[in-house]
Amino acid sequence: MVERRVVERRVVGRHAWVAVLLGGLVLNVAVLVTVVATENPNLVPALILLGSAFVPATFLAFAAGRTPRWEVTGGLLGFIALVGGVVGIVFAGWFEYDEMRALPWLGVAGVGLIEEAAKLVVPVAVLLVAWRRRGGAADGLMIGMACGLGFAVLETMGYAFVTLIQSRGSIGAVERILLVRGLLSPAGHTAWAGLTCAALWAFVVRPALRTALAFGGTFAGVVILHAAWDGFNTPVAYAVLGVISVGWLLWRIRGIRLTGEPAGAPAPVSAVPLAAGG
Tens digits of per-residue pLDDT, 80-115?
Answer: 999 999 999 999 888 876 666 555 656 788 888 999
Task: Give the model confidence (pLDDT) of 70-84 as tens digits.
Answer: 888 888 899 999 999
Residue type, 40: N
Separation between Cα atoms, residue 16 and residue 81, nearest integer Å: 19
* Nearest-10 crossing angle of helices 74-102, 121-129: 130
Q: Which residues of 42-60 are buried (b: 16+ CB within 10 A; e: fewer)?
A: eebebbbbbbbbbbbbbbb
Task: Give the model confidence (pLDDT) of 123-175 as tens digits.
Answer: 999 988 875 566 788 899 999 999 999 999 999 999 999 999 999 888 889 98
Torsions phi, psi of 80, nearest 5? -65, -40
Q: Which residue from 196, 168, 166 is spatially nearest to 88, judged by alpha carbons?
A: 196
Count of CA atoms in the C-beta half-sphere (13 A) of 211: 20
On the 0-12 / 13-18 / 19+ scale of CB atoms within 10 A, 150 is: buried
Task: Give the model confidence (pLDDT) of 6-29 as tens digits.
Answer: 443 444 477 888 999 999 999 999
CB distance 80 to 54 below 8 Å: no
**Is the per-residue pLDDT at 263 higher than 90?**
no
